[in-house]
Structures are given as C-alpha cells and as structure tokens.
Structure 1
C-alpha cells in the first residue's frame, strides 16, 4: 500500500531538479559541477531540454536572448513596470507587472511566428514548393488577422536586430549546426510579401521573426518561444524598474501631470 509520504513525493516528482539535504541536482547534474563551469544560457537550455547545448547552439540562443532584452519605455511591458515601481511595491512586483503585459499582441508574436513557420515547413514536407507553402500558410493566417506574426515593425522600417541574427543563422546552417528549413520558410515569407506589396513600404522580418527562426532551428516548441522572450525581456523590465525607483516619483501615470486637463471631470464637447 502506498504511504502518504510516497504519494506526496510522486505528486511533485520532476525530472528538472532533485533536492535533498546537502544535495542539489539539476537534470541529474550536481549544482557544484555547474557553478563556474557553464553559463546561464546553458543552464536555461539544460533545464528546458534535459541536456547541454553545443557551443554554437548556445551562442545562437544567447544572441536571440540578448536581442530581445529591451525596446524602450514605449513598450507596454516596460511602461507598466516603470509605473508600478513608483507605487510602493517591490522590484519583484514591478517585474511581474511588466511580464504580465506580455500577451498575444505584445510579446506573443514569436510563438505565433514559430507556429506559422512550422505550418510552412509541414506543407513543404508534404510536397509543396517553398513559395506555394508560404503563400497558402500566409493566406490562412491572414484570414484570422491582417498581421503576419514576426514581420513588419511599427517603429523600424527595417528592424536593426534582424540582419545580425539572420547572419548568425546563415553561418550556423552553412556549418551544419542547424538545418535551415525555418530560415528558408521565413525568407520565403519576406519574398512573397515583397511581391504582394510591390511599390509599397516593405515588411521585412522583425525581432520576433528573427528570434522565432532561431528558436525553431534550435528545436524549441512554439510556447517556449514566448517563454524565452519573457526571460529576455525581464532583463530590460528589471533595469527600467530599478532606474525608475531612483527618480523620486510617486504614482507615476502615463502622462506628466503638466499635460493633464485642469479638471478631470470636464466632459468632452460635441
């Protein structure tokens, strides 16, 4: 008969870590063998995947994480964290406030882009050419939304993070580190978009698309693309929240008080 102790242990059984008095293991590796020996990015991979990445895999993942750390206080996640930091809460609350803003519209495009690129790759694997697979998938996605996740940017005509990330992927494909199917799928989407928008403003890949290529090429499942972005952006959220705590403001709102209407109770005219 199973004891209550055994039942409780099984209830919380996990392959991620094992903790006993005097012992901490991450994926069966004693923590003392990891400290000072592997980097933080490798630990992320280890905990999520169960093994350690090759050096080039680790470098690709690190590049994606570095690229997504911050995009200024106009990003809702950063703005919310900065406002929260002035409201008498701790840094952990400010970080949580910012992270909780990362939903489908702000922070979810990487996951969605991995899903879209996977759809293209699946169609290609079933016999469609890359161009046809991209067009069919793009049409299906745009029946749900006019936006294609991972393409275009409301600030940048060409996202400055795109090219260096894709150059790294190009080299990784050439060296056999990754397969290149997801890169091909994303570049085909850019080509199809350019044809459809001939004469209009181009819609190149953005940070969400470029990092989606990396996460997909490295074998991360779509939901983890969002999770990894959250880890990355948390660094910027922390930095902005910490900076805000040193500026002496209380109850910071979305606009300076000097530009607020004199009487908030005034009703709009007309």
Structure 2
C-alpha cells in the first residue's frame, strides 16, 4: 500500500500532517504556517515565520530576468498554458540565476569545515582567505558575493541580516560569510560585497536549514512573480518585441 506522511484523504476528509485541511487549516492558518507544516513537519514560531516570509518576499521578482523572459516567451508560443510558462521560468533556476542560494549555502558550509571547532575571528578570517585564494587560483566564482549593480553593498543583504539578528538567526555562518566578502574585497582591490544570495545562504545555515530548503523557498517565492509576468504579458505583451530584437540582431 502506498502512502505519504505529508497527507492524504478519503471521501469526507483531507489530512495534512495529521491536521484536517478544512477544520484545522483553512481560515485558521496562513500559507507560511502550512508551508512549514508540510515541508518541516510543524508550524513555525514567530521568528521562523518572519524569516521565511523575508525569504519569499526577497525572491518574488527581480524584473525582466532570464526566468521572467523564459516565462513570457513560452507564453507567447503557448498562450493557453499558464502552467507551462511558469514552469519554463522555474526550470532555469541554477548556479547562475535564481537557484544560487543553494550553492552559496553549500560553499559556505564547505568553508565552515575549514574553520573547525574554534570559531574565533582569527580562524574565520584564515579560512575565508584560503577559500578566496583557492577560488581565484581555479578561476571559479564565489557564490554569494559581488553584484553588478549594487557594487557598494546590496540593500537587500543589509535588511536580511538586520531581521536575522532580531530573530536570533545571525550566527557564525553570517559572520563567516562577511569574512569571505571582506577577503574577496582585499584580494580584488575593489568592493566585493556580500549579496542577498550570500546573506540568505548564511542565514539558512544559522537557522539549521538545508540548502535545498533555501532553494525551495526561492522557487516558491518566484512563482508569484512569474504569474504576475504572465498576466502582464497577456495585457501588455512584449515577447514578440523580444523575438524581433533577436531576429534583427541575427540579420546584422
């Protein structure tokens, strides 16, 4: 017999983690409550709920990004398929765009192992310097630092760390992430600030959450933005203009 601990139902009831969907959850709990119940197995306290809400809001939309363009162009080809257009935008979440919080958290966790058991400022700085040196030697980009627009500092990062501190989630991983950004700045000779992805990856680890959970929250948040792009594309289409621009470039 196949079953799932997440939920199930019969002719009269729908259950989610043992709670009745109609009697216990609908009009009783909000979406973040149910999200945590489903994924983490329990309802969040006030601090966890506030932090998860910050993650969702931060990732909701960044304008005409590759994910939004994918959604709009897919809708242009299949205007009947809202779900296909949204899925197209989500499918591009990876190491460069949208899915970067997972890779930032994984990188940071790896540097944390180099710190060892003694999380002094000296040990964190040494581990950060070594990590930056390895990345520069290999020509690999460090996820979670630097930004093409917010070159002096990502305003989202500042707010995320402030709220994390208020919620009790700004711990040693947040400190280490800032040491990595400082080491990268020294090595590059120019500002290489921590960005929103780096802040979220660090906070995620200080919350005791997995990198996959962080990526999942990013995807959930971005769906709202992609649905908005679908609606705007139907009302004020630009996909044909994007295609025309690409065609004009290819004919030069």
Q: 1:43 to 1:196 in 2, by over 3 A?
A: same
1:83 corresponds to 2:77 = no
Instruction: Give 2:63's aligned residue.
Output: 72
1:182-219 per-position Cα deviation (integer Å, ceiling 9, x unaligned): 21121111221222233x2x111112112212322222
Q: 1:136 to 1:14 in 2, by over 3 A?
A: farther
Which runs of 5 or more structure 2 residues have no equivalent in the other structure?
none
Instruction: Give 1:241's aligned residue.
Output: 230
Instruction: Give 1:15's aligned residue.
Output: 5
Q: SS of the counterpart of 1:149?
A: coil
Q: SS of the counterpart of 2:155?
A: coil
Taking structure 1 as the reference length, the TM-score comes to 0.82
Which runs of 5 or more structure 1 residues have no equivalent in the other structure?
1-8
Q: Residues 218-257 of structure 1 correspond to what in structure 2 (within 5 A)?
A: 218-247=207-236, 252=240, 254-256=242-244
Bigger radius of gyration: 1
Compute the RMSD of aligned alpha carbons.
2.3
Instruction: Give 1:114's aligned residue.
Output: 105
Instruction: Give 1:58's aligned residue.
Output: 49
TM-fit CA distance, 1:42: 1.9
Q: Please give the alpha-carbon distance, in whole angstroms, between the structure 1 residues aligned to 2:215 and 2:102.
A: 5
More helix by share: 2
Alignment partner of 2:163 out of 168, 189, 214: 168
1:131-153 per-position Cα deviation (integer Å, ceiling 9, x unaligned): 12223334445555531111112
Q: SS of the counterpart of 2:194?
A: coil
Aligned length: 246
Q: Please give the alpha-carbon distance, in whole angstroms, between the structure 1 residues aligned to 2:174 and 2:35.
A: 23
Q: 1:125 to 1:196 in 2, by over 3 A?
A: same
TM-fit CA distance, 1:52: 1.2
1:46-68 per-position Cα deviation (integer Å, ceiling 9, x unaligned): 11111111111110110111011
Q: Residues 1-270 of structure 1 correspond to what in structure 2 (within 5 A)?
A: 9=1, 12-31=2-21, 32-73=23-64, 75-87=65-77, 88-127=79-118, 129-142=123-136, 145-157=139-151, 158-173=153-168, 178=169, 180-198=171-189, 200=190, 202-247=191-236, 252=240, 254-256=242-244, 260=248
Q: 1:164 to 1:257 in 2, by over 3 A?
A: closer
Taking structure 2 as the reference length, the TM-score comes to 0.87
Q: SS of the counterpart of 2:48?
A: helix
TM-fit CA distance, 1:255: 4.5
TM-fit CA distance, 1:221: 0.9
